[in-house]
Amino acid sequence: MAKSLKIRTLDDRIVVQPLEAEETTAGGIVLPDSAQEKPQRGTVLAVGPGKLLDSGSRAELSVAIGDQVIYGKYSGSDIEIDDVEYKILRETEVLAKVVND
């Protein structure tokens, strides 16, 4: 997890730290980097204030800092800060929020 994320997101954008890609298969075979699936799940580290509506107010986001989310394989923009990979995406690119009951 990031020590201190120095990013302020705008509108309905969120910053997600992707979970690590699986390095071994269920059978114990070690996968090289080129064969690993892109992660589609991560932890929300920062959220924007919400999309600006025509009325001048802001729409409330459905995700919050600390939520685990699932997003599309090629969604958002990948960035690297201090050798740590992050993903910036719009709230609409989030497919689901992981709920632990």
Residue 63, Cβ density class (10 Å: 0-12 exposed, 13-18 middle, ≥19 buried): middle
pLDDT for 88 equals 94
pLDDT at 1 over 60: no
Which residues are CB-contacts of 51 (< 8 A; sequence separation ≥ 6)?
11, 12, 58, 59, 91
Please, are residues 41 and 75 in contact by the beta-carbon 8 Å criterion?
Answer: no
pLDDT tens by residue, 20-56? 765 655 666 665 655 555 668 999 999 999 888 899 8
Q: What is the pTM of this model?
A: 0.75
> In the structure, what pLDDT confidence band is assigned to residue 2 with cuts at 50, 70 and 90?
very low
Query: Looking at 30-34, 56-60, 81-85, which range is the least confident one?
Result: 30-34
Of 44, 51, 49, which is closest to residue 15 (Cα–Cα)? 44
